[in-house]
Structure 1
Amino acid sequence: MSPADGAFRAGRSIFREALGSDFDRLHPELQRRFGFSSEDGIACIGTGRMERVRQGARWLTPFLRLGSRQNILFPEHGDDVPFTIANYAYRDGFGRETVTFVRTFQFTRPRRFDATMVAAPQQPGTVVDYLGTHQHLAVDLHLRVTPRGGLVISSGEQRVTGFPGSPRWPGALTGRADLHEWFDEDAGRCRIQVRVTNPLVGLVMGYQGWFTTEYPQVGPEGIPNHVRPLRESART
């Protein structure tokens, strides 16, 4: 559980902080993957393939293309798509413990789906996810551990940080994301399944596949600039 005073404890990963004792129920490989902080000097780089990348109705394509300008969703789809995910832990410009989720899908034209996640110490079981290159949208993510040690992440309330007061995103326009990540013992690699849906149109996009991980050291120069957002928001 989060500390009683609501303060984030330095040196702890945002996922361990959110899950509390449940973190220890994750598969050991997922504990390693989600258990490091900015003080550990390492990153997690996943490389693999998305066996299926799907989008919903064709008329959504212009909206997905618009989102791709800030690395939020994309209009392409296909099978057996090369994939990487870059997770770096660092302290952002406001001093918050932060983890990057930079996903790259190698279509004919590479597409990125970027997010930066920060701790939400006042909300046990939750982290705040900023989407895209400019952090204009903040999403509450609710975490839970499956009986077999996988991690399920489901999105909740969404707020527009570009406006004063961070108003809630209208429910009819909300994209609900559901992610399940687990470790495949037989194959020795992580598997992931993601669906983004909308209450009115159903499927917006989704993907499923696998990746293997490595944990490179992060030197004194810090994390690469290309994984950082172009704008940071203090509003959550």
Structure 2
Amino acid sequence: MTGSPYRLSAPDDGLAALHPRLRTYFGAVPPGHVGRGTGVFSVVGTPRRWLWPLLAVFARDGVMFPVWEHDVPFTVENRPVQVRRGRPGTDPGRQARPAVRAHRTFHFANGDRTMVDAITAEPEGLVDHLGHRGRVSALLAVEVPVTGPDAGALRLVSTRVTVHALGREWSLPVVIAPRVELTERFDDDADEQRVSLTLSAPVIGTLYRYEGAFRYAVVPDDV
């Protein structure tokens, strides 16, 4: 079984307070299985149309999309994989790491678009590699609130953003680096998992966001 990068990167008791239903989502997927979910995003994108040309660049790699839509049906598929970071033959730290690759397919009014990312457990912590090529990565701090409205939820906040270019990894300065905030919680009353993501930048504010609810299960892989 490929280990869950969430559990590999968290302290032994770091996820102990996680809602039981979220443990399935963030746990390891057994061999021959895949995690699948369906739901609806209440909002996706940004109403700031002047940002759309920039988002169109990221859309080519399956990161973000130049849209602002409501009530968007979507599907999510999580697969355990092994990924390698670094340059072949030159990076002594290049080795296969347990990862979860997610494909979130948004059924927009003008057609389907798929967002792709891969979560890995790196020596410095949990890292999200965005897009098909993973050229943009975010180091994530993991928090599980034990009290309040988000008790039992998983909250991820980016603490560093890097760009892979020209054969190197470049860390963006804090004064210009975008900030990712993601909260996954389980709504017992609705029997649904709720997700909220916000991408913001200093001075500019919110660049992109999505939020919605879905039902999820680990099932035999029929591919």
Please give the range of the TM-score, normalised by the shorter of the 2 chains: 0.7 to 0.9
The answer to whether the aligner puts 1:22 opposite 2:14 as a matched pair is yes
Q: Which amino acid aligns with 2:185?
A: W
Q: Number of aligned residue pairs: give it.
A: 207
Q: Which amino acid aligns with 2:200?
A: T
The answer to whether the aligner puts 1:158 opposite 2:149 as a matched pair is no
Partner of 2:189: 186
**1:6-17 equivalence runs, <5 A:** 11-17=2-8
Instruction: Let me know the Cα RMSD of the aligned residues.
Output: 1.9
* 8 Å Cα contact 1:137/1:162 also seen in 2: no
* 8 Å Cα contact 1:36/1:42 also seen in 2: no
The 1:139/1:211 distance shift into structure 2, 3 A limit, reads same
Q: What is the CA distance between 1:92 and its match in structure 2?
A: 2.7
The answer to whether the aligner puts 1:111 opposite 2:103 as a matched pair is no
- Distance in 2 separating the partners of 1:103 and 1:172: 30
Structure with more strand by fraction: 2
Residues 195-222 of structure 1, C-alpha deviations (whole Å, 9 max, x = no match): 1101131111111110001212237xxx
Partner of 1:138: 137
- Distance in 2 separating the partners of 1:170 and 1:112: 29
Residues 161-212 of structure 1, C-alpha deviations (whole Å, 9 max, x = no match): 2333411134454321101110110111100111110113111111111000
Which ranges in structure 2 are unaligned for 5 or more consecutive residues? 85-94
Q: What is the CA distance between 1:49 and its match in structure 2?
A: 0.1
Quick one: percent identity of the two aligned structures?
29
**1:145-224 equivalence runs, <5 A:** 145-147=144-146, 148-218=151-221
The answer to whether the aligner puts 1:31 opposite 2:23 as a matched pair is yes
TM-score by length of 1: 0.81
**1:64-75 equivalence runs, <5 A:** 64-75=55-66
* 8 Å Cα contact 1:49/1:83 also seen in 2: yes
Query: Secondary structure of the equivalent of 1:197?
Result: strand
Residues 7-41 of structure 1, C-alpha deviations (whole Å, 9 max, x = no match): xxx8531111222312121111111111115x543
* 8 Å Cα contact 2:24/2:218 also seen in 1: no
